[in-house]
Amino acid sequence: MKVLKIVGIVILLGLIISGIFGYRYYNMIFMQNVPNELKTDLVKIPTGSDFDEVVKILKTQGVIEDEMSFRWVANQMNYIKNPMREGQYKIEAGISNKRLISILRGYRQTPVQFVIHNKRVLPQIAGACGKGFEADSLDFLAALMDESFWEEYGYNLETAMSTFIPNTYQLYWTTTPQEFCVRMIKEHDTFWEKNNRKAKAKTLGFSQEEIYTLASIVETESQHKPERPRIAGVYVNRLERGIPLQADPSVVFAWKDFTIRRILNYHLEIESPYNTYKYAGLPPGPIYMSSISSIDAVLNAEKHNYLYFCAKPDLSRTHNYAKTLSAHNVNARNYHRWLNQQGIKK
């Protein structure tokens, strides 16, 4: 009997100890280890990170409360495989180690909502990419300025800007610069397949790159969307007649001084293929990232006989139009007089 009591006590102690450890392990796996309030719900794990670096990121951002339990569960769930899975992940507040590791291990990255618009030159795009993705702006700049890459797809450094259609795109944080460029080309191709755009460009007698280039000029000439088709019509008329475009925004682009508000005579002397006062036809490439509105304005250019337009002498940012040079000169004098009254000298 005494032996049986001892055996019973040992078994009971074993069950108690097992229960204690079992409860502890259960808590480590299933109980909450992510705070109810997070500093940020996005965790970014750089490419090539090892497990200790991942733990440091989670701890520094306040994503995990108990590091030891996270490490133990990560080992049990075979999450530790150096290098670790990179990417941006959206973390739920108040979840367990098991749920957190399932998110990180499942490689279900949370996309970046990348907005691209209002850029003039490729380096500006590189700067925006450097803020939105893992690779830095210098890596993106190297890719964007790689002429051999663009030639492979039928572009050059002057026309490359025409591949960028302003929009919001979903891309992974780990998207490489090369992957980004290829994605933009694909988005560009998809854009041109819609709304009969290719056929409209062909009817006008322009390539897609030429349409985009003209649209970039229209974009910088007017922020008033309803009049963009009319402005586009003026430029189409001038191109058809072999008249230089004489687009002030292209001269600004030639100078690369985007603070210029008023084009003066000396500005027109710059030697550049973007100086549309000196050279007839379109410049070599876009002078701005054209909006969809301006592209469609060119594709649907208004048919009229206007050859000139000039900003109205007011703050409306709209324009007066003229069919003859004499009528245009009257409009131009009125506008210049107004500029002088406003104290705008350059």
Tokens of 66: 């108990």
Ranges 143-152, 173-182, 329-338: which has the least confidence? 329-338
> What digits encode the pLDDT tens for the residues 278-320?
999 999 999 999 999 999 999 999 999 999 999 999 888 899 9
* Average pLDDT estimate for 40-67: 95
- Return the ∠ at Cα 77 (arms to 74 and 78), rounded to 5°: 85
Residue 87 backbone phi and psi in degrees, to 5? 130, 180
> 83 preceded by cis ω (within 30°)?
yes
Contact 119, 101 (CB under 8 A): no
Is the alpha carbon torsion for 12, 17, 20, 22 positive or negative?
A: negative
For residue 311, how many other CB atoms are within 10 A of its CB?
A: 19
CA distances (Å), origin 97, targets 31, 35, 89, 317: 7, 11, 15, 58
Where in the chain are the domains? 40-110, 112-193, 197-342
Residue 290: which of 139, 110, 165, 105 has the closest Cα?
165
Percent of the chain whose pLDDT exceeds 90? 83
pLDDT at 21 over 60: no
Residue 48 backbone phi and psi in degrees, to 5? 90, 0
**Average pLDDT score over the chain:** 91
What does the pLDDT read at residue 22? 47
* Average pLDDT estimate for 154-179: 97
> What digits encode the pLDDT tens for the residues 238-293?
999 999 999 999 999 999 999 998 899 999 999 999 999 999 999 999 999 999 99
Given the candidates 3.30.70.2740, 1.10.10.10, 3.30.1490.480, 3.40.630.10, the CATH classification of the domain at 40-110 is 3.30.1490.480
Give me the amino acid identity at 156: N
- Under the banding of pLDDT at 50, 70 and 90, the label for residue 170 is very high
What does the pLDDT read at residue 261? 86
Give me the amino acid identity at 325: L
> What digits encode the pLDDT tens for the residues 54-74?
999 999 999 999 999 999 999
